[in-house]
């Protein structure tokens, strides 16, 4: 479990019922999935579902999306290529969602910058 300046527990490989999410902050019901462009068939990068493993991932992604949203959680999916192309923008988007979720759960936000440690 990781900590940050906002004292939110960050869990890696977070198990929720029968699904595992890459990153989760349970206190604000927020999960992040980092999807490989090839393995999750990122069409914007020209990948198509050609293999059974890709098909399985795409189907499972849809199921996870439905599962988590039906329970009031916010799921952010991030393509690996997006991280590689613009890490700072990706971090800003994550920080903005964390701030929104903290407001939703009536948690204090004194500083929008959240250096991860």
pTM for this entry: 0.86
Classify residue 82: in a domain, yes or no.
yes
Under 8 Å between Cβ of 39 and 32: no
Residue 8 DSSP label: -
Classify residue 100: in a domain, yes or no.
yes
CATH number for the domain spanning 82: value is 3.40.960.10
pLDDT tens, the chain, 117 aa long:
444 567 789 999 999 999 999 999 999 999 999 999 999 999 999 999 999 999 999 999 999 999 999 999 999 999 999 999 999 999 999 999 999 999 999 988 764 444 443
- What is the residue range of 36's domain? 11-104
Classify residue 6: in a domain, yes or no.
no
Question: In the chain, how many domains are there?
Answer: 1
């Amino acid at each position: 479990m990781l900590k940050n300046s906002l004292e939110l527990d960050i869990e890696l490989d977070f198990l929720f019922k029968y699904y595992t999410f890459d990153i989760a902050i349970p206190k604000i019901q927020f999960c992040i999935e980092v999807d490989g462009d090839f393995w999750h068939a990122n069409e914007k990068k020209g990948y198509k579902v050609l293999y059974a493993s890709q098909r399985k991932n795409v189907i499972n992604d849809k199921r996870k999306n439905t599962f988590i949203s039906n329970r009031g959680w916010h799921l952010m999916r991030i393509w690996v290529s997006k991280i590689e192309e613009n890490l700072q923008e990706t971090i800003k988007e994550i920080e903005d969602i964390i701030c929104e979720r903290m407001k939703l759960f009536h948690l204090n936000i004194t500083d929008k910058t959240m250096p991860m440690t």
